[in-house]
Amino acid sequence: MKCDLHVHTVHSGMCTVPVFKRICRESYSDPDEVYATLKRRGMDLVTVTDHDSTDGVREAMDDHGVSQLAGNTYYRERRVGSSLDWEFHFFPAFSYGETPDGHWWNILYGLAGYTRRGPLVKARAFWIPITLSDAPEGASE
């Protein structure tokens, strides 16, 4: 897997080097241009490490899927038609996500959990799936 783990955009603000912090920015790069350049160079993942801001990630979100990892939390979001498909994890305790047709949650990496996709509802106890309601005949999961 190829990934550059330290990329800034114009949203990083002013340079952090003492001599230059009043006269130049950390980066002058547009988030969409950063994404396109890194993908063109063969990167599997695109990271944005702007200082004190997630605006660069948010700006690129409209055109590309988004994931954020900070400490022991992880957030991923992508557009699906006019809706959002998103998830949030607080490792290892809790995860939650929503899709255009449902939502899900997990505790301790799926030790216990719940999933709803349209009319299909499933739960998990000790990682064992339990179907609570089936999808209607002819419906796809």
Between these two residues, 16 and 71, which has the higher pLDDT value?
16
pLDDT of residue 91: 61
List pLDDT tens digits, range 73-102. Answer: 667 777 778 877 877 776 667 777 777 778
Looking at residue 12, the DSSP 8-state letter turns out to be: G
**Rounded average pLDDT over 28-37:** 88
- In three-state secondary structure terms, 108 is coil
Angle at 47 between CA 46 and CA 50, to 5 degrees: 140
Asked whether the predicted pLDDT for residue 141 surpasses 50, the reply is no
Q: Quick count: other Cβ atoms within 10 Å of Cβ 4?
A: 14
The CA distance from 57 to 36, in Å, is 13
Instruction: Please state, as a whole number, how many other Cβ atoms lie within 10 Å of the Cβ of residue 31.
Output: 24
Q: What is the mean pLDDT of the chain?
A: 77
Which whole-number Å values give the CA distances from 32 to 27, 39, 117, in the listed order? Answer: 13, 11, 32
Supply the pLDDT for residue 76.
73
Tokens of 47: 């990271």
Q: Are strands 120-125 and 73-80 parallel, antiparallel or unpaired?
A: unpaired
**How confident is the model over 92-140, as pLDDT tens digits?**
677 777 777 788 788 876 778 888 888 888 888 887 888 888 766 655 5
